[in-house]
Structures are given as C-alpha cells and as structure tokens.
Chains A and B, each alone.
Chain A
Amino acid sequence: MTATRPPNIAHKPVVPGVVPSRTRGHVPGEVGVWIFILGDMVVFAWFFIVFMHQRAQRANVFNEAHKSLNLTLGGLNTLLLLTGSWFVVMALHALRANNQRTGKRLIVVAIVCGLGFVINKLLEYHEKIVTGHPHEQADFFMFYFVLTGIHLVHLLIGLAVLTLMWRVAGKPVLGQRQFRTLEAGASFWHLVDLLWLVLFALFYLVSG
C-alpha cells in the first residue's frame, strides 16, 4: 500500500541561502530576544507612567519646561529613526533575496541615520546645559535627561548591533543561523525606534 505523506515542514532540509522566513507564526529572531524586548518595554512603560504621574502633580511647571525643548530637533530625530528603521527593513528584504551588496549598503544608511540622531541629541543636550533652566523645573529635566539618556544608551547599543548585522550580512553564505541574528538585531533596532516615538510625544508634544 502506498500512501502519499504530506510534506513535513519540520523536517524540511535547510538550503543555504534560502530562508523560509516570514511565514505565518514565525517569531522574528528568536524567543529569547523577544523576552528581552518585551521586558524592556515593560520597564519603559513604568518610566512613562511615573513621568505622567509626576506631571499631573505639577502640570504648570512641566508645561513651562516642555516649551523650552527644541521641537525641531525632536521631530527631526523622530524622522531619522523612522527612516533608519525602514532601511533596516529593506536591508533584511534584500538579504532574503540573496542581494548581500545592497543589504549591506542599506544597513550603512541605517547606521548613518542613527549617528545623525546621536549628533542631534548631543547638540540638544549641549544647548540645554548651556542655557540652563529655572530651579523649579529641575524635576522635569531630571526625567528628560534620565529617560532620553537611557534611550540614548539603547541607541548606542543598537548602533553596535547594526555594525554586527553589517558583518553578518557580508558572510559568504547566509543560512538560518545568520538570519536569526539579523532578525534579532533588526527587532532590537526597531525597539529603539518605538521607545523614542513615545518619548517624543511625552516630552515634546504633550502640553496643557
């Protein structure tokens, strides 16, 4: 008796350079990375809530302080991170299509966007430190420097991750292991992006 067995995806041989990714139910990178990402998101959620709670106690002081931030630099930084994230998406797409040269170039553009963010942020910190702020606004600026500072550390780690991704993208053959690293790295970079989206709203945009 002959029976045709349905193809068993679990035992599908791994073909180097051909990665069966982006199928339904695929965890980008690996589960461990997502435990870290979600954990980090919970910690930041707590930061956001504590900030908003403090703001509710002294809304007028926080409003005045918020007005002295440079909205243009904050907005530009948001656009830089969104664009950098988009280039990482395109890089992964190119690498999946076995186009390593393009993939590496796109990662470099994402790194440049990240560096642009760092330069902008340092300019902003410098401007704030030089001009100073009234004593009663100390709490707002404590939150501002600590939260954006922790985010900046994430971003610097993200730049190191992008550099690692650039190196991995240059390997002669990209297999499942390399794609796990690339996807995990990309997810971390997008985490840096999404945390900033909330920080931008809380510090630069929310008023009243």
Chain B
Amino acid sequence: MTTGNAAALARLVRLPAFVPWAVLVGLTVFSWWLGDGHGPVEFAAVAVLIVAFFKVSVVGAHFMELRHAPLALRLIFNAWCAVVCVALIVLYLAV
C-alpha cells in the first residue's frame, strides 16, 4: 500500500462512526452469504437472526447515540433486541 493510500485509509477510519458502519456492512455481507444457501440451513437461519439483532443493537448504540443515553433507555432498547431475537429463534426451531 502506498503512503497516499494509507493516509486516505487513516482519514476514512477517523470519520465519525466509520467503524460501526464498516462492521454493519461486513455483518450484512456475511448474513447475505449465509442466507444464500451456505452452511447448514438451521445453523444459518439462527445465525442470521442473531446477527440481525446484533446489528440493531449496533445501530442503537452508535447511530442513535444510545451509548451516551440514560441507562434505562439503553436497557429497554437492548432488552427489546434480546427478547424479540429469542422469541423468533424459538418460533423458528419450533417447526
């Protein structure tokens, strides 16, 4: 990598919320791959659901700025993620 490229990359990483965005894009591509028939079907479906709700919690913490919010709001938001995720996985496995 040239010095110019490295400098450009360093500037990109320093942008606000770049890292959470990159993580969200990476997880989307991973779950896209899983959902496209890779990996054992049941494992893929459960993984896709867990990844989806993890992404939701990243959006909450870093995009919605909940990591600076009062504890109660953070707890309610993350409890929603956990409860709905578990409910959907249980319903999926109940087939």
Contact = CB atoms under 8 A, between A and B. Distances in A.
B52 A27 contact: no
Interface string B26-43: 001101101111000110
B95 interface: yes
A26 B41 contact: no
Contact of B94 (A26, A56, A194): A56
B76 to A, nearest CB: 6
Nearest to B66: A28
B17 interface: yes
A24 B68 CA distance: 5
B35 A59 contact: no
A112 interface: no
B9 interface: no
B68 A204 contact: no
Interface in A49-66: 49, 52-53, 55-56, 59
Contacts of B68: 22-26, 28
A82 B25 contact: yes
Interface residues of A, number: 48
B32 A25 contact: no
B59 A190 contact: yes
Interface size class of B (residues with CB under 8 A): 35 or more
What are the nearest 8 A-B pairs in CB distance? A205-B35, A208-B41, A201-B52, A52-B91, A93-B16, A86-B21, A89-B17, A205-B48
26 contacts: A25-B69, A26-B65, A26-B69, A38-B77, A48-B84, A56-B94, A82-B21, A82-B25, A82-B28, A83-B25, A85-B59, A86-B17, A86-B18, A86-B20, A89-B16, A186-B63, A193-B59, A197-B52, A197-B56, A197-B59, A198-B52, A200-B52, A201-B51, A205-B48, A206-B48, A206-B49
Interface of A: 22-28, 34, 38, 41-42, 45, 48-49, 52-53, 55-56, 59, 71, 75, 78-79, 82-83, 85-86, 88-90, 93, 183, 186-187, 190-191, 193-194, 197-198, 200-202, 204-208
Interface of B: 15-18, 20-21, 24-25, 28-29, 31-32, 34-37, 41-42, 44-45, 48-49, 51-53, 55-56, 59-60, 62-66, 68-70, 73, 76-77, 80, 83-84, 87-88, 91-92, 94-95
